[in-house]
Amino acid sequence: MSQAVPPQGGPTEKERKYDRQLRLWAASGQAALESSNILLVNSGPGTVGVETLKNLVLPGIGQFTIADDAVVEAADLGVNFFLDESSRGKPRAQCTTEYLMELNPEVSGEWYPKSPGKLDIQAVLSNASPYTIILYTLPLPAETIQVIEDYGRHHNIPLVAIRSVGFYGYFRVTLPGVFPVVDTHPDETATADLRLLTPWPELSQFAQELTKAMDDLDDHLHGHLPLVAILLHYLDIWKQNYDGSLPTAYADKIAFRNLVSEGMRKDNAEGGEENFEEAVGAVMKHVTAQSLPGSLREVFEYDNAKKTRSSFWIVAEAVSQFYQKHGQLPVTGGLPDMKAQSSVYIQLQNIYKKKARQDADEVLTIVQSLAGDLAVDRTEVEQFCKNARFIKLINSAQVAPKMEDIVANELSQDEIAAIAGPEMQSSLISLYLALSLTPNSFAPSAEEMQKAIFTHAPALQGHDRTKQITEEVARAAGGEIHNISAVLGAKDMDLPLTCNNLKCRAELSDRALVTTCSHIFCLECTNRFCLPGQDRQNRVPCPACDTQLASPDDAVISNLKPSEAYKTSILSGLSPSIIMECAGRALSFWAYQTTQNIYYQQYLYKTLTEKYATLSGRLEQTVGEANAQIETLQRKIGALTTDNDSARKKNEELSRAYKEKNRQLLQTQELHDKLRHTVEMGHIQRAATDAIDSRFQQQQPQQPSRHFVAHNTASFNNNAKPRPGSVGGFRGYGTAGDPERISEGGIRGGLIDTGGGGGPWRRDGSATGHVSNAPATFSRFGARGLLDGERGLGMGHAPNSAERRRHVEMGGPGKHMGGLSSGIKVSQPMSNSGLQETTGGGFMGLRNI
């Protein structure tokens, strides 16, 4: 109670690290854990003590101390995982402390004794910082145990004794006189305190504003009214109809529930409204008068003379005064989930939180008036107010039952177990006595343990199970098994009853409803099935077996943790036969519950096994299908790889063929260039001869010029007959005129129109050699001949870059070139001087084209 809760805010590094355990015991529990200082007094093999401490170091205790005077030997390495070969010959306390600190660097550790020798427990306990809990493993000398118990009583701290021998183990917790538990971590739905029967003005006003003209609301708003507003609205109607009385009786609650159900709209697609269904289900749980829980009443009525001056008792007194003044406990501020608009739910949540803060402030004011010089934190007050209904006061100072009574009860349990079969566990009283009655002996014999047991429990003489257990413990010779010690350090042996509603199975702690058909239900299921307070008109069968509960005593609320006074008086006055009959029926009830729980666990095991088998079959099928697909894909990959290799080979072959063709092309081109050079040289020689012949001819009187022009300037006519003495319809170099030049390819050299106007056979000048307006035969042969003549060759091919360049140099405006086999450019008549006349300033003469 004195531990402060860390300030709220964004998640820190520590909060992220301990996120899961914070969800379990909240920030207050973590703060108490981190402020703890634990002492472990280790003995024997020491495994169970170290394993227990490990389970406290991992969640983050503040600090720990190990007191162990043993030195690591070879036997320790086989049972203690916190030791290794390097630990041999070293103090066991030092080695285990160092390894434990590695598990959580935020935990600090210390070890004793610092020097070799016997452990001085008084020196360890004289530490300036008091320990908050002491763990000690048995066996220990009687003097050491007495010193530890005296320290626990003086400092009011818990003590935990642990022992592990072979396959058996036990632990015992010794609490101080009175040990309060404030944060018991109840279910969130159980902490909701809606105060529907006693609402405060702000809550009533909020509900009235929401439900004003409720019948006129549209379906969306009507279907999103929170259940608090709905129940408060119909409570007002109920009070108007019944003179201000409230539906507190069972029959009244049934009628009130029907009234709420009638307000639900059913003419929609869903056939109802979820918020009204929630309100109907909350009638039995929340439309109840708040009474003072028995555990809290025990705190309020505790003897003041035995109270210590601590913050817990001051806050408890303040809450008691608050309850006496208002007749009810402070509002917790919790609000369960419900169907509502988000904005409306937030407003309602703020109303409850505001009221909870107001009540906590009032309690804090009372605390400050009672505390005096003792500082009490506000967080501690708020936590007490929030958990007031669930606070527990563990009073270990009460008179413990006698050993004879415990043994008699356990032996009767053995008789029931013998009838029920192996499903029910036999009594463990012999094991407990065998381990607890020899706390000072490391490896007692079976005879020593039996003597101690029979001295404390004479009824066990001649008990076969006691003999078997003592022999098994003696066979272990004080040795520990690591797995058993690890389980003992982490497990709690308590097995509580559970609700028999299969959809609930909640653990039962304080109160529950029991039936004469040997079934038990939690209070929530009890209210849901309307089991308590049945009358003849509203009888409900048992939800587990459908047995008719005809009598009111067939289903009653039972206190699972009765007080000592209740235990004393409940059967007092009855005859021994009735007492034995009641006890027998109660034991039969417990045996039935235990058997049913075993059957339920077996059913779960069978169901889970079947699901596991089904899932395993599906997994195998899926794996088989996946493997088949993988094989198919692998085959496709292999085929694609083969195709790829084949394509690569074809590509290589084509590449080699291409290189070969390219080489042949280069050879052909080289040969072609050589031939062209040879032909051009011959043309040059003939051009020179032609020039000389032309000069001589011009000097002859009135000899016509040899121009290559069309015989007829009219459009070409395919049907026209060529002029006698010419070839292909041309004048000059005809067969009759000059057969020699025809044989040299003169006509094939091509013609050009020397006029500027474009005769019908005018050379187009394009690289394709096409002659517009020419016959098809000319386009096929004459155009190629023009190209050949332009290049000065007797074969047809496209001009190369050098030839085009010469064409540009020789061409120009008014200067059209025509190819003759002789290579002479004749575009204008020669002058008397023997030179060609030019137009536009250009010079044209003999030129190799």
DSSP 746-771: TGGG-----SSS--TT----STT---
Cα-only R_g, the chain: 57
**In-domain check, residue 165:** yes
Domain boundary among 289, 318, 348: 289
Domain boundary among 340, 361, 394: 394
Q: Are 152 and 216 in the same domain?
A: no
Domain boundary among 259, 289, 319: 289
Q: What is the CATH number of the domain that holds 85?
A: 3.40.50.720
Token pair in block for residue 115: 């020097």
Q: Are 171 and 61 in the same domain?
A: yes
Q: Are 119 and 22 in the same domain?
A: yes
Treating both helix axes as pointing N-terminal to C-terminal, what angle do 378-386 and 342-371 enclose, rounded to 10 degrees? 120
Q: Which amino acid is at 176?
A: P
What does residue 168 show for φ and ψ, rounded to 5 degrees?
-120, 160
Q: Are 258 and 349 in the same domain?
A: no
Mean per-residue pLDDT pooled into runs of 10, the chain (849 residues): 47 76 76 90 88 89 92 87 89 92 91 88 85 91 91 89 86 83 71 86 93 89 92 93 89 91 86 89 85 86 81 91 92 88 92 93 92 84 88 74 82 73 73 82 85 86 84 82 65 63 81 86 82 58 79 82 79 80 75 74 74 81 89 92 92 93 93 92 90 83 48 44 43 42 40 41 41 42 39 44 49 42 40 41 38
Token pair in block for residue 410: 């356990």
Per-residue pLDDT at 487: 65
Place of tokens 């008086």: 569
Peptide bond into 139 cis (omega under 30): yes
d(CA 766, CA 176) in angstroms, rounded, equals: 120
Q: Which amino acid is at 466?
A: T
Per-residue pLDDT at 752: 39
Which residues, at least 6 apart from 759, have a Cβ–Cβ distance to it below 8 Å? 709, 710, 713, 753
Specify the 3-state DSSP secondary structure of 827. Answer: coil
The number of CA neighbours under 13 Å toward the Cβ of 658 is 6
The answer to whether the beta carbons of residues 177 and 80 sit under 8 Å apart is no
Domains contained in the chain, number = 3
CA angle 626, 630, 635 (to 5 degrees): 150
**In-domain check, residue 98:** yes
Which residues, at least 6 apart from 398, have a Cβ–Cβ distance to it below 8 Å? 564
Peptide bond into 247 cis (omega under 30): no
Q: Are 279 and 300 in the same domain?
A: no
Q: Are 326 and 363 in the same domain?
A: yes
Per-residue pLDDT at 828: 42
Assign 3-state DSSP to the chain and report helix, strand, coil percentages, each to 5.
50, 10, 40
Q: Are 60 and 209 in the same domain?
A: no
From 364, 280, 356, select the one nearest 317 (Cα to Cα).
364
Q: Are 170 and 308 in the same domain?
A: no
Per-residue pLDDT at 467: 86
Per-residue pLDDT at 669: 93
Which residues, at least 6 apart from 849, have a Cβ–Cβ distance to it below 8 Å? 790, 791, 792, 803, 806, 807, 810, 817, 819, 823, 825
Domain with 126, as residue range(s), is 13-177
Q: How far is CA 159 from the centre of its chain?
A: 40
Number of neighbours of residue 46 by Cβ within 10 angstroms: 25
Which residues, at least 6 apart from 620, have a Cβ–Cβ distance to it below 8 Å? none
Token pair in block for residue 58: 């991992």
**In-domain check, residue 624:** no
Q: What is the pTM of this model?
A: 0.51
Between strands 133-137 and 159-165, the pairing is: parallel
Q: Are 163 and 249 in the same domain?
A: no
Per-residue pLDDT at 771: 42
Integer CA distances (angstroms), 728 to 720, 733, 749, 759, 772, in order: 11, 11, 13, 16, 17
- Helical (H) or strand (E) element with 564: helix 564-569
Beta bridge partners of 111: 66
**In-domain check, residue 425:** no
Q: How far is CA 3 from the centre of its chain?
A: 34
Token pair in block for residue 688: 């020179």
Q: In sequence order, what E strands does 403-562 have?
A: 511-515, 520-521, 555-559
The answer to whether the beta carbons of residues 154 and 130 sit under 8 Å apart is no
**In-domain check, residue 782:** no
**In-domain check, residue 748:** no
- Three-class HEC string of 232-249: HHHHHHHHHHCCCCCCCC
**In-domain check, residue 462:** no
Q: Which amino acid is at 548?
A: Q
**In-domain check, residue 104:** yes
Give the single-character DSSP code of 478: T
The answer to whether the beta carbons of residues 497 and 600 sit under 8 Å apart is no
The number of CA neighbours under 13 Å toward the Cβ of 550 is 0
Q: Are 339 and 213 in the same domain?
A: no
Per-residue pLDDT at 648: 92
Which residues, at least 6 apart from 170, have a Cβ–Cβ distance to it below 8 Å? 162, 163, 431, 432, 435, 436, 488
Token pair in block for residue 95: 């080695």
Per-residue pLDDT at 380: 87
Place of tokens 């993988």: 630
Q: Are 17 and 40 in the same domain?
A: yes
Q: Are 118 and 128 in the same domain?
A: yes
Which residues, at least 6 apart from 338, have a Cβ–Cβ distance to it below 8 Å? 226, 227, 228, 275, 278, 345
Per-residue pLDDT at 741: 42
Specify the 3-state DSSP secondary structure of 725. Answer: coil
